[in-house]
A and B are shown apart, each in its own frame.
Chain A
Amino acid sequence: MRVAVIQFPGSNADFDALHALTSVMGAQAHYVFYREPDLGPVDAVVIPGGFSFGDYLRAGALARFSPVIGAVEKFARAGGPVLGICNGFQVLTEMGLLPGALAKNAHQRFECRSVFTRVEGTGILDRTLARGDVLRLPVAHADGRYMCDEATRSVLEGEGRVALRYCTEDGADATSYPDNPNGSMGAIAGIYNEQRNVLGMMPHPERACETLLGNDQGRRVLEALLGYRKGSA
């Protein structure tokens, strides 16, 4: 399994993704610099966390004009699995591969800590996770408050495209802070595209793959990505 980890100026969880994919999961992964017009032969793409282009203008807004974006879009439209984590999720919404937007956290501060998320919907994660599974994962973002218009939201909910939702430790709905760390609409933490091969999520699974770091529940997310086959969702 060959994975491209996209590297923008200002990406900073690119190392985390590469480390988790190679050292922990045993996959072949390599950086692809934002100026590259092609991805080369790869089976999956990860858009990592960070502050691409300093998050200037809006988080992810400038990254979408990078040469590599066309190649990512092509790869996704052809059904290849794409995982956008944190800033990667923001880039995916700016590119239009995923609907909605990530606004500033409700409390206006950056927030880094463990949260609980509940697996829902149908898509990439189905390979290793079942609906209702609860994952403890870290978040680390200032702009993670998912928002979209009502019509989009009913499509996402109706079609089972909400992939992850913030919840309590026992899986109940997150009704307020701190269970919902950023004030996301419907406590949405991650969503799929219509084809279910593109997943954007604010929590960081690549930082939760080792017991040495106190949490290995993110492995199941990366396993799902690495095990994804076109059309399997």
Chain B
Amino acid sequence: MTAATSGNGSAGETNFAGDRQVNEALAREMGLSAEEWARTLETLGRLPTYTELGVVSVMWSEHCSYKSSRKHLARLPTEGPQVVQGPGENAGAVDLGDGWCAVFKMESHNHPSYIEPFQGAATGVGGILRDVFTMGARPVASLNSLRFGRPDHPKTPELLRGVVAGIAHYGNCIGVPMVGGELQFDPSYDGNILVNAFTVGLSRQDGLFFGKATGVGNSVLYVGARTGRDGIHGATMASAEFSDDVEQQLPTVQVGDPFMEKLLLEGCLEIFASDCLEGVQDMGAAGLTSSSVEMADRGGTGIRLNMDAIPRRTRALTPYEMLLSESQERMLMVAKPGREQEVLDICEKWQLDACVIGEVTDTGRFECVATPGLDPFSGSETNHKATQQTVVDLPIALLTSAAPKYDRPHTLASTTRAPRPAPADAAAPESYLLDLLASPNVGSRAWVWHQYDHIVRDGTVLGPEQSDAAVIRLFCGEGPDAPRKYIAISADCDGRKVALHPRQGAAMAVAECTRNVVCSGAKPLGLTDCLNFGNPENPWVMGQFKEAIEGLAEACLALDAPVVSGNVSLYNDTNGAPILPTPTVAVVGQLEDVSHRLTLGFQSTGDSIALLGGGARTLEGSEWWAQHGDAEKNADAHKENGTWVDLGFDLELETRLQNLVLQAARTQLLRSAHDVSTGGMAVCLAECCEAGGLGAEVTLPGQSDALTRWYGEDPSRVVVSTDATKRAALESLAKEHNVPLTWIGTVGGDALSLDGTAAVSLGDIARARASALTSIVGV
């Protein structure tokens, strides 16, 4: 640390091996626009050093600065009595009662996962785990939300195998159960897959830690893996479109070591418990740079780093490389005065590299000093004689509050039309059921979740495909008598609906997610989002983004699920073609009592089946439409004509429906509950049958044609089953909540019969569902 005070003042020209001539061309190469380069020069009043230019470009990247999205994100509701920590920290937190809170966040790792699926997805899991345990919480469960291109695209099998294996590799090793998620295939993701990872942890509310560098003179410590050259400019890469030379970006992908992360997790939790830290932050995107700058920014301080002290794993690293490396499993900590040794001792116990690399200052600046030519691996003494130089001396504000913010031009649709009617020449409804069940967008995800340890830590009460949301038991304290709490978690988004109508589609994503949580018996508490969109410089994409935010905001308010954390991933385009707008959301809810939990499978022969909510009115945007209705052509048509499609989403009905289901769960009126989503009513019933090992006879009344009734995917519908003696009570509860209830059939037998037609056997249902993914990846 003492060395850090001996720099030679303000940065200027420096001479480190590999440093390049600083000029506008280099700035453009690093991702800055001409205006941003001019702004840098104007603010500094001098040329930046090579290292400074790297720092500015990465902090001003879309990924770190949210420069295109920040204006719109301010529209999201972030407050509520249950919110313990809202957006702005490493993760958000909601109140679970008795001084405990659930800490959670979702984050994207899209670009790296396309370049290198295994490591890209693995480090995505590692990053989100660190965001949660940095807050002082022990991670208790994870989810993931994945998007791939069309199933028969030549790259899809390897990408799917690689991503799932990477998630499994990291999550299984660290021992946090991966309990669910979602998976969708669409041609728009052919050249730009999505990997969104979610983790929730448990903490005492008074045990939360924040990313603040406070206390002038306090030591800044580096803990965890050594720094290498992996991931340099990863954040910049994630802020640009892909073109055909994507493989050349391989060096920007980080490489993960889940064993190191496990040691880091246990070491950090022990350090937190010893109360010797002022603040802590993980080194995620833009590594040492963003963690230092953000901690100083939140603390209203400055930070000075001695680059000579950074632990390294490779030869001849320059300050530029060390500041921009995204090597994984590293933490930055600020110790309380005189408590550094305790941190170092705990790190020794867990075999973690740790050392003091700098101090908190009162300058409001980010300063880094380094000795030219110093390489701890060189074994040469001579280079130690060189004088330290200041390689970075930048105002913190330049990198944070004064970073560029854009109000990008956006285009909204000029017209909104009604959905198209179902084709008149379609075959009988039941003839489509098995094909739909075998669709990769609909069928069983067991091939995926069998590769995830979803039961480690003895907390998985309801895991994958058992209920609409996963239900997790939390041990609140140590020892056999520790009180237990129960949470439910789900992640959702249907980009097809968002493309048809960004505002309604995004609201529907929130509604589906809270509905899933309610269908497991829990009350939603809060939400995290991962907003995956195309290039924000494309006005049509920006219009989708703006409208989707409005939809999220409306639904989060109505359904009482404030946004407590989140992430934006833009530039998800390949050669100018954007992905479906995909604002993925994940919701955490809490069960009042574990006996309120609900599963989706039918439970008992003779039970009555009811539909809560209205009937389906349209097929457009459905899986049936994607398979038979030329969905691709329609999507293009919307874009050309500037038209959106009114999906008829009724947020008030949705709210009443969710209140009804939650009340019915709490008063134990239901034997099962399952929301109607991808594939529509027929698919929903088939899933209830397979999960329960029981058939059903169902007749679906309604004004729409039979195809729409069975395969339309209109929201705000839940299929429940109940024992015949509770029918009257359920009817009166539905009436009380002003939600339509229709008795549609009876549980029993070993086949599903739709409208009295030839039944589809449970065996055929199971075989069709089981083939959905194995048709892509093999057995």
Q: For the complex formed, measure the closest distance between the CB of B202 and the CB atoms of chain A, giving whole angstroms.
A: 13
- Quick check: A112 and B262 within 8 Å, CB to CB? no
Cβ-defined contact, B458 with A206, below 8 A = yes
Please tell me if the beta carbons of B451 and A12 are within 8 angstroms of each other in the complex: no
A213 interface contact, C-beta 8 A: yes
Which residue of B is nearest A50, CB measured? Answer: B175
Across the interface, do A56 and B456 meet the contact criterion of CB distance under 8 Å? Answer: no
Partner of A112, one of B173, B175, B266, B451: B451
The CA-CA distance from A120 to B479 in the complex, in Å, is 35
Q: Give the size of the chain A interface in residues (CB under 8 angstroms).
A: 34
Contacting residue for B175 out of A12, A53, A107, CB 8 A:
A12
Contact B259 A51 (CB under 8 A): yes
Knowing A55-B173, A207-B458, say if A19 contacts B475 (CB, 8 Å): yes
The answer to whether A110 touches B451 (Cβ under 8 A) is yes
In the assembled complex, the Cα of A10 lies from the Cα of B173 at a distance in Å of 7
Indicate if A23 sits at the interface (CB-CB under 8 A). yes
- Least CB distance, B176 to chain A, in whole angstroms: 8
Q: Is A128 an interface residue (CB 8 A)?
A: no
> Which of A12, A49, A210 has most chain B Cβ within 10 Å?
A12
CB-CB < 8 A to B455: which residues of A? 112, 138, 140, 204, 207, 213
A93 to B439 Cα, complex, angstroms? 44
User: B446-488 interface mask toward A, CB cutoff 8 Å, 1 = contact, 0 = none?
Assistant: 1001111111111011000000000001010001110000000
CA gap between A177 and B774 in the complex, in Å: 15
Cβ-defined contact, A12 with B456, below 8 A: yes
> A10-B259, A53-B259, A212-B594 are contacts. A16–B458 as well, Cβ < 8 Å?
yes
Q: How far is the CA of A213 from the CA of B462 in the complex (A)?
A: 7
Q: 1/0 per position for A70-90, CB-CB distance to B under 8 A?
A: 000000000000000000000
Give B747-779 as 1s and 0s: 1 = Cβ < 8 Å from A's Cβ atoms.
Answer: 000000000000000000000000000000001
Specify which of B258, B259, B453, B475 lies most central, judged by the most chain A CB atoms within 10 Å of its CB.
Answer: B453
Which chain A residues numbered 101 to 116 have a C-beta less than 8 Å away from chain B? 107, 109-113
- Which A14-29 residues have a C-beta within 8 angstroms of B? 15-16, 19-20, 22-23
Q: Of B175, B450, B456, which contacts A111 at CB under 8 A? A: B450
Query: Would A20 and B458 count as touching, CB distance under 8 A?
Result: yes
Is A47 engaged at the interface, CB distance under 8 Å to the other chain?
no
Instruction: Type the 1/0 row for B85-122, where 1 means its CB is closer than 8 Å to any CB of A.
Output: 00000000000000000000000000000000000000
Report chain B residues within 8 Å CB of A132.
Answer: none
Across the two chains, which residue of chain A brings its CB closest to B164? A109
Is A54 among interface residues, defined by CB-CB distance under 8 A? yes
CA distance A193 to B458 in the complex (A): 28
Taken together as a complex, chains A and B put the C-alpha atoms of A13 and B458 apart, in Å, by: 9
Give the CA-CA distance A53 to B263 in the complex, in Å: 10
B673 at the interface (CB under 8 A from A): no
- In the bound complex, residues from chain B placing their C-beta under 8 Å from that of A54 are 173, 257-260, 262
Chain B 158-179: CB-based contact to A (< 8 A → 1; otherwise 0): 0000000100110011110000
Number of A-B pairs, beta carbon distance below 8 Å: 94
A140:B458 contact, CB within 8 angstroms: no
Complex Cα distance A110/B165, Å?
Answer: 8
State the interface size on chain B (CB cutoff 8 A): 36
Question: Does any Cβ of A come within 8 Å of B743's Cβ?
Answer: no
Give which listed residue, B258, B458, B460, contacts A51 with CB less than 8 A: B258
Contact B461 A212 (CB under 8 A): yes
* Whole-angstrom distance between the Cβ of B485 and the nearest chain A Cβ: 13
Q: Does B649 contact A (CB under 8 A)?
A: no
Provide the bound-state CA to CA distance between A140 and B450, in Å.
Answer: 9
User: Which residue, of A56, A107, A204, A214, has the highest number of chain B Cβ atoms within 10 A?
Assistant: A214
Is A96 interfacial (CB-CB < 8 Å)? no
Residues of chain B with a CB closer than 8 A to A177's CB = 779
- Bound-state CA distance A109–B446 (Å) is 13
Given contacts A113-B450, A140-B455, are A13 and B175 in contact (CB under 8 A)? yes
Q: Which residue of A lies closest to B471 (CB)?
A: A212
Residue B432 is within 8 A (CB to CB) of chain A in the complex: no
Does residue B351 face the partner (Cβ distance < 8 Å to A)?
A: yes
Q: Report the Cα distance A52→B616, complex, angstroms.
A: 53
B625: A residues at CB distance < 8 A: none
Q: How far is the CB of A133 from chain B (nearest CB, A)?
A: 22
Asked if A9 is at the interface (CB within 8 A of a chain B CB), the reply is yes
How far does the Cβ of B676 sit from chain A's closest Cβ, in whole Å? 25
Contact partners of B594 in chain A: CB under 8 A? 212
CA separation between A210 and B461, bound complex, in Å? Answer: 10
What residue in chain A is nearest B446 (Cβ atoms)?
A: A113
A167 CB within 8 Å of chain B:
no
B residues in contact with A213, CB < 8 Å: 455, 458, 460-461
| Separation of A15 and B262 alpha carbons in the complex (Å) | 14
Is the beta-carbon distance between A15 and B453 smaller than 8 angstroms?
A: no
Determine the distance from Cα of A210 to Cα of B457 in the docked complex, in whole angstroms.
13
Residue-wise interface mask of B (713-734) relative to A, using a CB-CB cutoff of 8 A (1 in contact, 0 not): 0000000000000000000000
Residues of B with C-beta under 8 A to A22 = 479-480
The chain B residue with its CB closest to the CB of A108 is B165
Task: Please indicate the chain A residues that have their CB under 8 angstroms from the CB of B481 in the complex.
Answer: 23
Tell me if A142 is interfacial: C-beta within 8 Å of chain B: yes
Closest to A206 in B: B458
B residues 336-370 in Cβ contact with A at 8 Å? 350-351
Q: Could you say which residues of chain B place their CB within 8 Å of the CB of A112?
A: 172, 449-455
Residues of A within 8 A of B350 (CB): 9
- Asked if A51 and B262 make an inter-chain contact with CB atoms under 8 angstroms apart, the answer reads yes
Report the Cα distance A212→B174, complex, angstroms: 24
Given known contacts A16-B458, A50-B175, A140 and B263 CB-to-CB distance under 8 angstroms = no
Task: Find chain B residues with CB under 8 A from A50 CB.
Answer: 175
Residue of A nearest to B599 (CB): A214
Q: A50 CB to closest chain B CB, in angstroms?
A: 6
Residues of A within 8 A of B175 (CB): 12-13, 50-51
- Most chain B beta-carbon neighbours within 10 Å: one of A15, A110, A142, A213: A110
A212 in contact with B473 given A12-B174, A51-B173, A113-B450 (CB within 8 Å): yes
Q: In the bound complex, how far is the Cα of B170 from the Cα of A110, in angstroms?
A: 11
Given the complex of chains A and B, what is the CA–CA distance between A113 and B779 in angstroms? 15
- With both beta carbons as reference points, the residue of chain A lying nearest to B176 in the complex is identified as A12
Compute how far the CA of A56 lies from the CA of B258 in the bound complex, rounded to whole angstroms.
Answer: 11
Query: A214 to chain B: which residues have CB within 8 Å?
Result: 461
**Chain B residue, CB-CB nearest to A16:** B458
Q: A55–B260 Cα gap in the complex (Å)?
A: 12
**Chain A residues with Cβ under 8 A from B266's Cβ?**
9
Q: From B475, which residue of chain A is reached at the shortest CB distance?
A: A19
Are the C-beta atoms of B457 and A16 separated by less than 8 Å?
Answer: yes
On chain A, the residues within 8 Å of B258 by CB distance are 51, 54
How far, in angstroms, from A20 to B259 measured CA to CA in the complex?
A: 24
Q: Please, which residues of chain A bring their CB within 8 A of the CB of B475?
A: 19
The answer on a CB contact under 8 Å between B172 and A140 is yes
CB within 8 Å of A: which of B141-185? 165, 168-169, 172-175
Closest to A33 in B: B349
B479 closest partner in A (C-beta): A22
Assembled-state Cα–Cα distance A180/B749 (Å): 31
Given contacts A15-B458, A19-B475, contact A56 B453 (CB under 8 A): no
Determine if A111 and B457 form an interchain contact, defined as CB atoms under 8 angstroms apart.
no
**Chain B residues, Cβ within 8 Å of A210:** 458
B520 → chain A, closest Cβ, in Å? 14
* Nearest 6 Cβ contacts at the A-B interface: A12-B175, A54-B259, A23-B480, A22-B480, A51-B173, A140-B453
Can you give 17 A-B contacts (C-beta < 8 A)?
A9-B259, A12-B173, A12-B456, A15-B457, A15-B458, A19-B475, A23-B481, A51-B172, A51-B175, A54-B173, A55-B173, A111-B450, A112-B453, A112-B455, A113-B450, A177-B779, A213-B458
* A9-B262, A13-B175, A15-B457 given; 8 more Cβ-contact pairs under 8 Å: A12-B262, A12-B456, A20-B458, A54-B258, A112-B451, A112-B455, A206-B458, A212-B461
